[in-house]
Structure 1
Amino acid sequence: MSTAIAAHAAIRLHPNDDVIIATRQLVSGTRIETEDLVVTGLIPPGHKIATRAIAKGEPVKRYNQIIGVAREAIARGQHVHTHNLSMAEFAREHEFGVDTHPTAAAHEPAHFMGIRRADGRVATRNYIGILTSVNCSATVARAIADHFRRDVHPQELAAFPNVDGVIALTHGLGCGVDLRGEGMAILQRTLAGYAAHPNFASVLFVGLGCETNQIGGVLESGGLADNTAKLRSFTIQDSGGTRKTIERGIGMVRDMLADANRAVREKVSASHLMVGLQCGGSDGYSGISANPALGAAVDRLVQHGGTAILSETPEVYGAEHLLTRRAVSREVGEKLLARIAWWQDYCARNGAALDNNPSAGNKVGGLTTILEKSLGAVAKGGTTNLVDVYEYAQPICAKGFVFMDSPGYDPMSATGQVASGANLICFTTGRGSAYGCAPSPSLKLATNTALWERQEEDIDINCGGVIDGTASIDQLGADIFQMMLDCASGTRSKSELHGYGQNEFVPWQVGVVT
């Protein structure tokens, strides 16, 4: 016997959709009054319910876009997921610029309390950074940074309250790769981007000495000067070994502290914000709540002259045609399609496929195919024009909504965004994420209230009210934008309070290791 249930049991996203989304766990026999249908079988929260009979091989729509084809006949009211829906290639018309529109400037300018650097760029944090050219120098770099931990030697930073800390960003690369190859170019571009990042008052670069990735090559690739007040470098081999290197590094950092402490926050325009957009541990609600709410905040940021960076190229695959429609020129749209083509070739030559997504957790949360995941993911980018497309870790100079090529792996993608200049990260999650980013702070947004209640210590804002009808996308967008300004002004994010950030530095490795 069917039983009527309360409102907000399911969400329809578009009149033409073949599915609706359950807002709670639904049992067989439950009647959804808004659709006049009866549920058949158990439907987990965030999962899809067929609103019509779908024949085997027929395309299925969500967001008024194809998300896959039926593997078998699907009855009205039945659960739609991996058991009866599969990925399918289909032709997508890539139109260019047909959805572009002028972006009106905000009526009242927004500001935050930032740190203005000598070159005019604005920082949201004030760290001293220790970077490594190769994995072989990672241990000494961490030892130098650990010496300045406030819980280890509090006296070291006691006289420097304006310094947020000393952090070491290490990696597992730097040797055994082609010096002239794509992998080395990406690594050097990433390291150079961090060395020049405004959130570092100064940087110490530590190498081994004999590695392929010589520090001089990194600095040359980024047009950076060595042995200045802002950037110094040396190697373990030149210093005489581990102990002497650590002692030398500690001394160099001490020399940098006084200058770093002179940084003061001042009122600056929100146009100085460059925000990297990330989603990880996505679920069936991501494209309904947190992602579009972040998109609404991005629209506000762009109206105030700021920059937002969408990335994770494999996770816009299947939705790229929506982005080309927003491209300010055919050239910009073609640049995006060129990155998609690169990924298709990259996967083919490595025996992989772009439809190997979603992850196991994504599927438990209700996402079935990469097409469905991508359509929800692009909502983070809001509605303004796509003004340019960049390669991984390439310096971003444009204002507005841009795209930076990257893998879908969150730490690797965010690493590239920070190298490109992002001074803040916003990260949506539906399954729960334990992630932070340094030197740029990271804000996390929950897609559903159950996650917020379970993992509130890790999440900065709950977007679950969209699902139960207690909050609107627009209001959450305003709240998220204000949270961006507050965090950029120095308010610490939850991940910062937990100490996340140093272990999440993960440059993208694409080259052959020999």
Structure 2
Amino acid sequence: MTEEIVSPSGASDSATTHSLGKPAVLSLNAADDVLIALRPIAKGERVYDGIVVQDDVPAGHKIARRALVKGEEIKRYNSLIGAASADIRAGEHIHLHNLEMLDFTRDYSFCSEVRPTPVATETRMFEGIVRDDGRIATRNYIGVISSVNCSATVVRMIADHFRGRLYNYPNVDGVVPLTHKRGCGLDAKVEGIKALRRCIAGYAAHPNFAQIIIVGLGCEVGDLSAVLGGASGEALVIQQSGGTAATVRAGIERVEAALEQANKVRRVPVPVSELKVALQCGGSDGYSGVSVNAALGVAVDLLVAQGATAILSETTECYGAEHVLTRRAISKEVGEKLVARVKWWEEFASRNGMVINNNPSPGNKAGGLTTIIEKSLGSIAKGGTTNLMAVYDYAEPVTEHGLVFMDAPAFDPVGATAQVAGGATVMCFTTGRGSAFGCKPTPSLKLASNSDLFRRMPDDMDVNCGTILDGEETVEAAGARIFEHIIQTASGKRTRSERLGYGNEEFAPWDMGAML
């Protein structure tokens, strides 16, 4: 039998269904050369348009929609994803064995697709926390931050003292230790040190912290005032405070002094325009770009219409598809800044004997993604369809409203750290294979691309977007549902990762090593 299913592009296509009723394949665009398997498909099975499948094809993988000759370009999302490395029959499995990366010239067409930004007819509110200086928070933590790895143990000792002891402070979400493995041994002018300082300064100034205490050893590169970057907070130096035990006691006293005031906060209605939402993905699969990322893009458009900010990132997972963003850049200067960051990454990879042009992880490949362009097109879908308003360097403070881009590696903790340092107060994290993650002080919503994952990891996933693939929900409906989850999370509803206790270990400033 056949049934009509709606593809994420909005087109309606016929797909053969399994006896259980679930469609067998998804056709994203009539111009595509591939179909996407929505479940494992056996060799000899007849699917879309009478195509007979030539191989056993795993769920999420690609099937040739027509015969292709070696060297011929292959499209998905109506965009180039590579070329055939061998002759391919209609119905054949397309993956690493017969699809290869293809160098091509991108047409950046700066600003050619800029459109008026939509404006919502109704102003939506969330229950937020307004700090004395006017900053808007979604959580209420106290942070203890190490300036250098040498003070990390002291930071953990201070925070550990308060584990299970905050019952008299119900409005305080916790005491968060933020440690790392760096802070010394490099020249202060090295970009990695600058990035570390931007991260620490951004976290110190983050509205989700009622108070921060930064702990240093005393002989590391740079002083604590420089690391704080002008943010308010208290500093402790182990070598000046009497050593480890004395510094721990002093840190505990400072946290105790801050708890009473921090507990006085109350949530009040605040416009959604005050939100800064980070967009991340990890453990992607062949469904991510067509279900969860597409749905998150709809939610981003709704946020932007409210005047909020959405922070897209992961430069190496936009590679090969950056022209989609340059065409929506609000100015040529913004578009050229994005291209400049991409060129930097090409040079950076080359200097380290690596390549940037085919970077899916083993998990991505197992899930059906073959080339970086294919992954990038699906990744960019998280950013929705509105104009690109600004491009920021790693961990820079984000001040612009609307869709913006922040340069960062695709490794989730490193990229998320930059977005939080930039001021993100909610994070939406999409995954297809399952990713365990949290990013205190910012709550992280985990969005599943498929229903099997949602059922398999129920304690980790907040939102199921597999409903799109199951034919139960449109992309637009799922996006509207994500938008409501964002508002609820910003209003204090705890995410799955928060309930599990994630977030203390994911502070990961970029060390500028060869990380793609």
Give TM class, smaller chain: over 0.9
Structure 2 residue identity aligned to 1:196: A
Distance in 1 (CA, whole Å) between partners of 2:56 and 2:219 is: 61
Looking at structure 1, the residues matched to 417 and 201 of structure 2 have their Cα atoms a distance apart, in angstroms, of 12
1:98-177 matches, within 5 Å, as: 98-150=112-164, 154=165, 157-177=166-186
- How far is 1:243 from its partner? 0.9
SS at match of 2:107: coil
**Following the alignment from structure 1 to structure 2, what is the Cα–Cα distance between the partners of residues 335 and 253?**
42
Structure 2: gaps spanning 5 or more residues: 1-15
* 2:129–2:266 contact (8 Å) kept in structure 1: yes
Q: What RMSD over aligned residues (CA atoms) do the two structures have, in Å?
A: 1.1
Q: Secondary structure at the match of 1:458?
A: coil
Report the CA distance between 1:210 and its aligned residue: 0.3
Instruction: Output aligned runs, 1:293-442, within 5 Å.
Output: 293-442=295-444
1:17 to 32, 44, 50: 32
Secondary structure, counterpart of 1:35 in structure 2: helix
Question: Could you give the per-residue CA deviations for residues 405-440 of structure 1, whole angstroms, max 9, x where no partner exists?
Answer: 000000100000000000010000000011111000
> Corresponding residue for 2:9?
none
Amino acid at match of 2:382: K
Paired position in structure 2 for 1:27: 42
> Contact 2:201 / 2:421 at 8 angstroms: preserved in 1?
yes
Q: Deviations over 1:199-246 (max 9, x none)?
A: 000100000000014212212xx233xxxxx51001111111111111
SS at match of 2:472: coil
Alpha-carbon distance in structure 2 between the residues aligned to 1:213 and 1:69: 50
Which position in structure 2 is the counterpart of 1:279?
281
State the AA in 1 paired with 2:28: L
Stretches of structure 1 lacking an aligned partner (at least 5 in a row): 225-229
Deviations 1:322-366 (A, max 9, x none): 000110111110010010011011101111111341000001100
Equivalent position to 1:58, from 72, 79, 82: 72
Q: Are the counterparts in 1 of residues 101 and 358 from structure 2 also a CA contact under 8 Å?
A: no
Hey, what does 1:78 align to over in structure 2?
92
Question: Could you tell me how far 1:195 is from its partner in structure 2?
Answer: 0.4
**Is 2:238 the partner of 1:223?**
no
CA distance in 1, matches of 2:513, 2:461: 35
Alpha-carbon distance between aligned partners in 2 of 1:359 and 1:374, rounded to the nearest angstrom: 13
Contact 1:14 / 1:63 at 8 angstroms: preserved in 2? Answer: yes
In 1, the alpha carbon distance for the partners of 2:85 and 2:68 equals 10
Aligned length: 496
Q: Which amino acid aligns with 1:55?
A: V
Q: Is the 8 A contact 1:181 1:511 kept in 2?
A: no
SS in 2 for 1:456: coil
Shift of 1:67: 0.6
User: Residue 505 of structure 1 aligns to which amino acid in structure 2?
Assistant: F
The amino acid that maps onto 1:16 is A
Per-residue deviation at 1:441?
0.3
Compute the displacement of 1:97 (Å): 1.2
CA-CA distance at 1:380 after TM superposition:
0.1
Q: Identity over the aligned pairs, expressed in percent? A: 56
Extract structure 1 runs of 4+ deviating beyond 2 A.
Answer: 4-7
**Maintained 8 Å contact 2:120/2:306:** yes
C-alpha distance in 2 between matches for 1:49 and 1:17 = 11
Contact 1:111 1:268 in 2 (8 A): yes
TM superposition shift of 1:511? 6.3
CA distance in 2 between partners of 1:200 and 1:376 (Å): 34
The residue type equivalent to 1:338 in the other structure is A
Amino acid at match of 2:184: C
Letter of the 2:267 partner, please give it.
R
The letter of the residue matching 1:161 is: P
* 1:497 aligned counterpart, secondary structure: helix
Offset of residue 104 of structure 1:
2.3
SS of match in other structure, 2:429: strand
Distance 1:458 1:479 in 2: 18
CA–CA separation in structure 2 for the residues paired with 1:94 and 1:325: 6
- Give, in angstroms, the shift of residue 160 of structure 1: 1.6
